[in-house]
């Protein structure tokens, strides 16, 4: 009987452990994002000289590009602490209160997925961000009174994959906005090489390059491909990673030459086979794939859009000629005028 590859999707906790083990600790260890790094260096130097907390800042960009990394590097550089929470965990102002009152002078508070924070919590933290105070309402009805409580001066760092979903007033309260973009092949190769060293795993330059090539421009994906190649190397050979091993490991993991995995390809199959190339609404795509709209919009679509396998039109998502070709399919008709070789209806 043929051996069946068993490559299960790892639980998100596994991702978190791996991220923590491989995350750079200091700014100079952060690879790529040159201009963001340079601006952070200036702000850090200024904060040290002025002995003032850094301004509140917002990092946006697709998952796995280093938003949390930047957020954790800054307190390490300043020798201060960071508290971490996320938008969905903050359902009411009372959830936010302990973080604000525990914040030490000059420390950091990180809110991941800040676009998912409810409006009431958002409004509750406005005075904390602006004047370092919170207004707590005690009692209710005629007896209600507001107690204004001073806080220590802290820096709020928000991270979001959808800055467009953040309210205008919330966005305006962040004095610094940084957008993180996908990484180049060279940068990802360097990340793979550095992280292989951290994992005490020998790797050849061509193997690091191949892993980088299939990492969808994303350090977290590069880490996960490296982790898998390392397990494969330990299991199937002497633990060292060379090109031949990477090719075999990625074949087994069903990651193709463009770095697309099973889920990415399934997306393309659904839009091409079920929706005849589109246009398809994201809700319809999500329902057909049995995944959440957030997973599609945050994890799957950004890279397909960037690779021009997918385009967003007012009527919905459409697969491009490149997507058809990637799956070895022929579109019925294409529009020769369209740069992406879109189908016409």
- Per CB under 6 A, residues contacting ligand ADP are 19, 22-24, 30-33, 63-69, 159, 191, 219-220, 223
112 an active-site residue?
yes
Q: Active-site residue among 85, 160, 161, 320? A: 161
Q: Active-site residue among 220, 225, 230, 317? A: 220
* Rounded Cα gap, residues 176 and 58, in angstroms: 6
72 an active-site residue?
no
Rounded to the nearest whole angstrom, what is the least distance from the CB of residue 3 to ligand ADP in the complex? 32
Rounded to the nearest whole angstrom, what is the least distance from the CB of residue 233 to ligand ADP in the complex? 19
E-strand ranges in 31-141 read 57-60, 82-86, 108-112, 133-138
- Taking the least distance from each CB to ligand ADP, the nearer of 34 and 153 is 34
Rounded to the nearest whole angstrom, what is the least distance from the CB of residue 115 to ligand ADP in the complex? 14
Q: Active-site residue among 18, 69, 72, 112? A: 112
91 an active-site residue?
no
- Taking the least distance from each CB to ligand ADP, the nearer of 67 and 209 is 67
- Taking the least distance from each CB to ligand ADP, the nearer of 119 and 179 is 179
DSSP line for 109-164: EEEETGGGS-HHHHHHHHHHHHHSEEEEEES-GGG-EEEEEE----EEEEEES-GG
* Rounded Cα gap, residues 192 and 198, in angstroms: 10
Rounded to the nearest whole angstrom, what is the least distance from the CB of residue 153 to ligand ADP in the complex? 25
Rounded to the nearest whole angstrom, what is the least distance from the CB of residue 203 to ligand ADP in the complex? 16
Structure tokens at 67: 């938003």
* Rounded Cα gap, residues 171 and 131, in angstroms: 16
Judge contact between 80 and 108, C-beta under 8 A: yes
- Taking the least distance from each CB to ligand ADP, the nearer of 33 and 80 is 33
What are residue 149's DSSP bridge partners?
134
* Rounded Cα gap, residues 302 and 299, in angstroms: 7
- ∠305-307-310 over CA atoms, to 5°? 40
181 an active-site residue?
no
49 an active-site residue?
no
Structure tokens at 333: 């008709």
- Taking the least distance from each CB to ligand ADP, the nearer of 68 and 107 is 68
| Angle, helix 243-252 to helix 205-213, in steps of 10 degrees | 30
* Rounded Cα gap, residues 144 and 156, in angstroms: 29
Rounded to the nearest whole angstrom, what is the least distance from the CB of residue 255 to ligand ADP in the complex? 17
* Rounded Cα gap, residues 66 and 19, in angstroms: 10
* Rounded Cα gap, residues 269 and 262, in angstroms: 10
Residues labelled catalytic? 67-68, 112, 161, 220
């Amino acid at each position: 009987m043929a051996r069946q590859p068993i490559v299960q999707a790892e639980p998100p906790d596994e991702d978190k452990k791996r991220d923590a083990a491989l995350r750079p600790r200091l700014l100079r260890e952060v690879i790529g994002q040159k201009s963001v790094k340079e601006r952070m260096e200036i702000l850090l130097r200024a904060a040290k000289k002025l002995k003032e907390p850094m301004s509140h800042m917002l990092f946006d960009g697709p998952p796995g590009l280093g938003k949390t990394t930047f957020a954790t590097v800054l307190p390490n550089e300043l020798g201060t602490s960071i508290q971490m929470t996320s938008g969905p965990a903050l359902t009411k102002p009372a959830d936010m209160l302990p973080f604000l009152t525990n914040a030490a002078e000059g420390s950091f508070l990180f809110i991941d997925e800040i676009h998912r924070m409810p409006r009431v919590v958002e409004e509750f933290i406005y005075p904390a961000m602006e004047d370092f105070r919170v207004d707590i309402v005690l009692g209710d009805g005629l007896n209600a009174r507001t107690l204004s409580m001073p806080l220590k001066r802290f820096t709020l760092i928000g991270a979001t994959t959808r800055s467009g979903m953040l309210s205008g007033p919330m966005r305006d309260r962040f004095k610094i906005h940084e957008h993180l973009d996908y990484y180049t092949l060279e940068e990802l190769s360097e990340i793979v090489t550095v992280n292989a060293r951290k994992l005490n795993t020998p790797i050849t330059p061509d193997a690091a390059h191949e892993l980088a090539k299939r990492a969808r421009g994303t350090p977290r994906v590069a880490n996960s491909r490296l982790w898998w190649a390392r397990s494969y190397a330990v299991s199937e050979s002497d633990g060292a990673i060379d090109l031949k091993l990477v090719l075999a490991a990625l074949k087994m993991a069903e990651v193709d030459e463009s770095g697309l995995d099973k889920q990415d390809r399934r997306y393309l199959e659904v839009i091409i086979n079920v929706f005849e190339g589109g246009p398809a609404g994201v809700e319809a795509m999500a329902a057909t794939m049995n995944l959440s709209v957030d997973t599609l919009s945050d994890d799957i679509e950004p890279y397909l859009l960037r690779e021009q396998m997918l385009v967003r039109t007012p009527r919905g998502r459409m697969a491009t000629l490149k997507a058809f070709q990637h799956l070895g399919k022929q579109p019925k008709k294409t529009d020769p005028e369209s740069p992406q070789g879109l189908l016409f209806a």
